[in-house]
């Protein structure tokens, strides 16, 4: 038997493993982003009067995670689901839109309203 006989099967297993690892990394990144943004949720939904230092640190961590447009869209969707779940669907547009400036963090993919389109 030649080694090339098993090459297609090996490639299929390698592709499957790569897909599983990519899905696990996405899940981990989503959980990390949600945890980091959870410090901002009380402010964004209007329960806290000011942005906290922990919120700004979390925003900085999230900013470092979004290297590609696809990653930024996925992180945005994760953050949006966190805000909707924790804030009961409420979100104050002005507060969410001003987070980057308030925290001095260059980030452009933070959702600013409950129906925010994270794919753009």
Residue 21: predicted pLDDT: 35
Both tokens assigned to 3: 């080694």
pLDDT value of position 19: 37
CB–CB of 86/38 below 8 Å?
yes
Enumerate domains of the chain plus CATH numbers. Answer: 9-103 (1.10.110.10)
pLDDT at 7: 52
The rounded average pLDDT for each run of 10 residues, N- to C-terminus, in the chain (120 residues) is 54 39 58 96 96 97 94 96 89 95 95 91
Give the per-residue pLDDT at 99: 96
Tokens encoding 6: 């098993």
pLDDT score at 86: 87
Contact 45, 90 (CB under 8 A): yes
């Amino acid at each position: 038997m030649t080694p090339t006989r098993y090459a297609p099967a090996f490639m299929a297993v390698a592709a499957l493993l790569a897909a599983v690892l990519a899905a696990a990394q996405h899940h981990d990144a989503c959980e990390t982003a949600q945890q980091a943004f959870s410090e901002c949720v009380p402010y964004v939904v209007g329960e806290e009067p000011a942005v906290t230092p922990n919120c700004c640190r979390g925003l900085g961590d999230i900013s470092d995670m979004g290297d590609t447009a696809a990653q930024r869209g996925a992180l945005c969707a994760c953050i949006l689901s966190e805000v909707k779940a924790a804030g009961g669907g409420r979100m104050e547009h002005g507060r969410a839109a001003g987070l980057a400036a308030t925290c001095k963090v260059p980030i452009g993919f933070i959702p600013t309203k409950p129906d925010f389109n994270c794919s753009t």
